[in-house]
Amino acid sequence: MLVEVRVQSLGIDRATNTPVVVLQELEGERVLPIWIGPGEASAIAMQLAEMEFSRPLTHDLLVTVLKGLGGDLQRVVISRVEKSTYYAELIVQRNGQVLSLDARPSDSIAVALRVDARIFAENDLLEVAAVEVSESEAPAEPHQGERPSELTETMDAEALKEHLRKLNPEDFGRFNP
């Protein structure tokens, strides 16, 4: 069963200095933290802060190409986790056909935010995340897309906007809130 989620916050796991996007179900309190790369964190953060640039960034380019080819992103689905790595699908409608494109959750979220597409997660993932958070049994050294031990710093949308306003453009590659 799919559960609609939203980006609740972005943060940094101070133990590993790894960015984390936290998804929260719309109709409840469960969250799904996904550890992501700094580039994707910056792309998500910039979109949440409604920052505009004179030239398209990578995820903006993907949206332009998708639309140019006649596609429309219907939704994003965070579909599964294997060996601590999350998988997602971009569900695209084009010429009456529905296509499912394999993608990283971080890229999928960044694109979904740009076109106001809905984001869903499999219910089982929210259940597993709830159990793991309560038991604190996650990998200690995560890689992109993996879940480390604990989230130590998060920012809501307003705090994130204020933080981003104070950053220099060069800082976005490092994502250091």
* Residue 158 pLDDT: 56
pLDDT above 50 (res 94): yes
Contact 113, 51 (CB under 8 A): no
Question: Residue 75 falls within a domain, yes or no?
Answer: yes
Closest CA to 4 of 75, 59, 71, 74: 75
Q: Residue 102 is part of which domain span?
A: 2-172
Question: Residue 109 falls within a domain, yes or no?
Answer: yes
* Residue 176 pLDDT: 42
Number of domains in the chain: 1
Task: Kindly report the CATH number assigned to the domain that includes residue 71.
Answer: 3.10.690.10
* pLDDT tens by residue, 13-70: 888 889 999 999 999 999 999 999 999 999 999 999 999 888 889 999 999 999 999 9
Expressed in percent and rounded to 5, the helix, strand and coil fractions of the chain are 35, 35, 30
For the entire predicted model, the pTM comes to: 0.75
* pLDDT tens by residue, 127-164: 877 655 544 434 344 444 544 433 334 455 555 445 54
CA gap 154, 156 in Å, rounded: 7
Question: Residue 177 falls within a domain, yes or no?
Answer: no
Question: Residue 164 falls within a domain, yes or no?
Answer: yes
